[in-house]
Amino acid sequence: MEWLSKPRTWVIVGVSAIGLFLLYQLWVWEVERVEVKPDTFLVRIDLWGKNLPDGEIVAPDSSYKGIQRRVLTEGRHFLNPLICTYEPHKVLIVPEGQCAVLTRKAGPEIPAARKAAGEFLTDDRFDQFAKNDPGERCILRDPLPPGKYYVNPYEYTYERVKAVEVKVNQVGVKVLKWGKDPSELKDRTGPYVVPEGYRGVQEAVYPPANYYLNPHVEAMVPVDVRSHKVDFDDIAFPSRDGFMIRPHVLVTYEVIADKAPELFVMLCDDGKLLQEDKTREERDKNPILQKAVLPLIRGEVRIAGSRYDARDYISQQRGEEKEGEKGGKDAPPRVNPRERLQSELMSKVKKPCEELGVRIKEIVVAQPDMSGSLNAELQQLAEQISEREKTRVEREKNKELVNQYKTQQEEQAKQALSQQRKKVVEANTKLEREKINAERIKEVAKLQLEATVKAAEARLEGAKKRAEATVTEGKADADVITAKNLAEVAGLKTALTGFPSPEQFAQYHVLMKLSPALSEIFASDTSEFAKVFTTYMTPAGMGKKLSVPPMPSTGDSDSGTGGKK
């Protein structure tokens, strides 16, 4: 075991481990790695495991070898080629307006009893990511709506089927091919339709939508419930006076939505209900017209139409009189024979058609067809009636013009009177408005003058008050000035009493003002500058300074006690 202690041994072991790890990564990323592209998937085939049961082509679970049920979707997968292989397949994309019907071809067989009963459907739903749910070999009842699906081609086959579109002006009639036996029903709402869940035509109608149906289970038939207008021009009958009449009968009809299932059962051919009626060929193939509407209308038109003369179908005049009939201004207008015929047809045809599921909205008997050699006499009669009608129309037109002129005159007179009354009313209204405006202006002016007078009076009173205040203030100021002046005069008088003369009093005040400045100048009485003022300081003829007596106090700010200088 000495080799374990050698460093070289551990270096070799480390290098070997790293090499093995790199080889493993190379194997995983270069051999096992599988990139599945978008819209594709992989079917995995295991090479090891139990053998498949007899008759099976897809492994029931992952313990069996062979084709696995679970598929691998887009992305990155790691598959060991020593254990399994794979096959790429395209995903099933069901576009809008289609669906996919699936048939499972792997799994246990349907029991013999169910096969004998004709059961080949299952209610199982397609689960593309299921692991261990093989299910039975049969057709799935629910189809796949538009979308993207990962369908294992070894387990399922599919069939794309167009969706049945029931438009806005249609209703859907469903035919259930797989369900309960209708013979078990005790109480049925009708002899032709069945409730939901039973085989046959369903009694309920379905609203407009796109229906994704399994054609092995059910079918949806759109039935048009719009209003249709058809012109029947092949109805002929003799008139009361022997003319052959071929009128244009315009019929407006529609299918009753609630009765569409029963109508479909009674009139459909090969599972379809033809409702086109634009051309004669389409009308001849339309079972609603040929089996329901036209026979009733043709019979009633022939019976009721033979009661009238030929001119009744040509003339349109309502108030026309016949021979032997009394007319006049007060006679009530007669109903046109064609209109009477229309009313009779509606009353007799409408109810039977509604019982079948067709609603007759309107029947119009139009002008008969005059073409053909057999109708030469009828054409001559039509020309005579036309001339007569033109004369009558012209006479009626003239009467209408006379009445119109009279009406216009009456209207113009009414308009003139109305304009006159309107102007009178406008003038009176304007007069009243002006009166009201004048009164309002007068009141406003009066109020303004009153307000001006009050303002002037207020200003006068204010001026008076201000004048009185000014006089009072002036008197007070005068009294103060007078008192001040009297006080100053009294002080001066008091001050003068202490001096011999007014000149000395004035000299005293001058010296009092100059004394602060001259205090230094007169520091020496013998200076040359002081000698200038000696004459002012010493009275004439005297050799000494003038002694100033003290000034009595007067209350003035400039007066004070006198002293020697």
> Which tokens hold the place of 287?
């079972």
Distance from C-alpha of 153 to C-alpha of 165, rounded to nearest angstrom: 29
The span from the CA of 452 to the CA of 5, in Å, is 132
Residue among 353, 370, 247 at smallest CA distance from 304 = 247
**Widest CA span of the chain, in angstroms?**
189
Residue 284's identity, in one-letter code, is: D
Residue whose structure tokens are 């002081």? 530
Identity of the residue numbered 123: D
List helix spans (H) across 337-375. Answer: 337-356
Residue type, 463: A
- Separation CA 80–CA 72 (nearest Å): 14
Helices (runs of H) and strands (runs of E) counted in the chain: 12, 21
Residue 48 backbone phi and psi in degrees, to 5? -130, 150
**If one looks up domain 227-318+336-369 in CATH, what number appears?**
3.30.479.30
The CA–CA distances, whole Å, from 382 to 245, 311, 341 equal 12, 7, 20
Q: Are 202 and 223 in contact (CB under 8 A)?
A: no
CB burial string 340-372: b at 16+ within 10 A, e below: bbbebbeeebbeebeebbbbbeebbbeebbeee
* Contacts (Cβ under 8 Å, ≥6 apart) of 333: 318, 319
Q: Where are the domains of the chain?
A: 1-27, 37-162, 164-223, 227-318+336-369, 393-491, 497-565
Q: In which residue are the tokens 């049925």 written? A: 188
**DSSP-based three-state secondary structure for 381:** helix
Strands 33-36 and 75-78: antiparallel
Query: CB of 252 within 8 A of CB of 360?
Result: yes
> Residues for the chain: how many in total?
565
Closest to 201 (Cα-Cα) out of 172, 229, 226: 172
Distance CA 345, CA 299 (A): 10
Tokens 């438009």 — which residue? 167
Question: pTM of this prediction?
Answer: 0.57
First vs last C-alpha separation in the chain? 144
Dig out the tokens for 119 from the structure: 């059961």
Rounded to 5 degrees, φ, ψ at 405 are: -65, -45
pLDDT string in tens for the chain (565-residue length): 566 667 777 778 788 888 888 888 888 788 788 999 999 999 999 999 899 888 888 888 888 899 988 889 999 989 888 899 999 999 999 999 999 999 988 888 888 777 777 778 887 788 766 666 667 888 888 999 999 999 999 989 999 999 999 999 999 999 998 888 888 887 777 788 999 888 899 999 999 999 999 998 999 999 999 999 998 887 888 878 777 777 888 899 999 999 999 999 888 877 788 888 888 888 888 899 888 888 888 888 888 888 877 777 766 544 444 444 444 444 445 557 778 888 888 888 899 999 889 999 998 887 665 555 445 555 666 666 667 678 878 888 888 888 888 888 888 888 888 888 889 998 999 999 999 999 999 999 989 999 999 998 988 898 888 888 888 888 888 888 888 888 888 877 777 777 787 788 787 777 777 776 666 565 555 556 556 655 555 554 444 444 444 544 444 444 443 443 3
For residues 175 and 219, what is the distance between their CA atoms, to the nearest angstrom? 5
- Find tokens 């091919």 and name the residue: 177
